[in-house]
Amino acid sequence: MTTRTPLMAGNWKMNLDWKQSLSLVEELGEALREVDTTVVEAAVLPPFVNIRTVQTAVEAGDLPISYGAQDISAHESGAYTGEISGSMLTALGCTYVAVGHSERREYHCEGEVETNAKVKAALSVGLSPILCVGEPLEERKAGKQVEYSLAQLEGGIEGLSAEDVAKVVVAYEPVWAIGTGEVATPDDAQEVCAAIRDLVRTKHGDATADALRVLYGGSVKSSNVAELMTKEDVDGALVGGASLKAEEFAKIVGYQD
Ligand code: PEP
């Protein structure tokens, strides 16, 4: 039997200055004392400029919090004004980086080619990409949520070895559920998360599929996380709004209690 450590990742988006980030990560460390973090991993994705602050607080307090970035450049270094490279992130102790979030896809026109290049850039420096996929409302209404999400997944992991795919975290985030308060039902989440694992099983085999962590994201709160986590193929959550409050996010992390 495969055991996947659940991951609860907080996407802070473009919120909090460095002082507020410091307070939140310290408060989260305190609140996580109530949670058995040996069986579930807590991670935060602050804005780039606050990663150093989070690193310092995590190291100083020996806090059980992994961290990472919300985006990465597809390039290694050089004349790419405004970009942040993977090696800059690993130098700050990052473990994760979100790639292909629907807000990047929508507001920055990031498609499959760029998303795939960013996944590869992350893996090349030892970061685990959190590859976000998920359908807009019209696709769900047309019953095409699985097809749509799998097409994004295939594009995102194109050209990767089985070994690298196992290091990817896939976040199924239906666009209509992000920031709307409208959470997918546990069965809806399971349907797409299971299809994601099945596709990886078909292309890369049992060991890779069994190791792959598949998260659900979209209006996750402490009041709905436990039910989502009963589903076999849901290995955690990517959390936006509710990750900005330490007590609430710690409750989400500790869904098992
Ligand atoms: C997200 O942005 O990844 C997200 C899931 O946001 P929220 O939890 O606020 O819906």
Assign 3-class secondary structure to the chain. CCCCCCEEEEECCCCCCHHHHHHHHHHHHHHHHHCCCCCCEEEEECCHHHHHHHHHHHHHHCCCEEEEECCCCCCCCCCCCCCCCHHHHHHCCCCEEEECCHHHHHHCCCCHHHHHHHHHHHHHCCCEEEEEECCCHHHHHCCCHHHHHHHHHHHHHCCCCHHHHCCCEEEECCHHHCCCCCCCCHHHHHHHHHHHHHHHHHHHCHHHHHHCEEEEECCCCHHHHHHHCCCCCCCEEEECHHHHCHHHHHHHHCCCC
Q: What is the residue type of 170? A: V
Please tell me the predicted confidence (pLDDT) of residue 257.
46
Pocket test for ligand 1, best of 104, 180, 219 (most atoms within 8 A of CB): 219
- Rounded Cα distance between 119 and 157, Å, is 7
Q: What is the ipTM of this complex?
A: 0.97
CA 88 to chain centre: 19
User: Does 18 count as an annotated binding residue?
Assistant: no
- Ligand 1 centroid to Cα of residue 138, in Å, is 19
- Ligand 1: which residues within 6 Å by Cβ? 11, 173, 178-179, 217-220, 238-242
**Residues carrying an active site annotation:** 101, 173
Pick the residue whose CA is nearest to atom 4 on ligand 1.
240
Q: Where are the domains of the chain?
A: 7-253
Query: Which atom from ligand 1 is nearest to the alpha carbon of 239?
Result: 8
Residues of the chain with pLDDT under 70: 1-2, 256-257
pLDDT attached to residue 2 = 59
CB 153 within 8 A of CB 112: no
Q: Atom 7 (ligand 1): residue with closest C-alpha?
A: 240
For residue range 224-241, list pLDDT tens digits in order: 999 999 999 999 999 999
* Ligand 1 centroid from CA 174, angstroms: 10
Atom of ligand 1 nearest to the CA of 220: 8
181 annotated as ligand-binding: no
Mutate to test the pocket of ligand 1, among 178, 183, 224, 248 (most ligand atoms within 8 A of CB): 178
Ligand 1: atom nearest CA of 217 is 5
Distance from residue 155's CA to the centre of ligand 1 (Å): 22
Q: What is the pLDDT of residue 188?
A: 98
Taking the centre of ligand 1 as the mean of its atom positions, its distance from the CA of residue 112, in whole angstroms, is 21
Q: How many whole angstroms from 78 Cα to the centroid of ligand 1?
A: 32
Contact (CB, 8 A) for 191 and 146:
yes
**In this structure, what token pair is assigned to residue 22?**
């410091």
Range 7-253: architecture per CATH: Alpha-Beta Barrel (3.20)
pLDDT digits (tens, 9 = 90+) for 210-219: 999 999 999 9
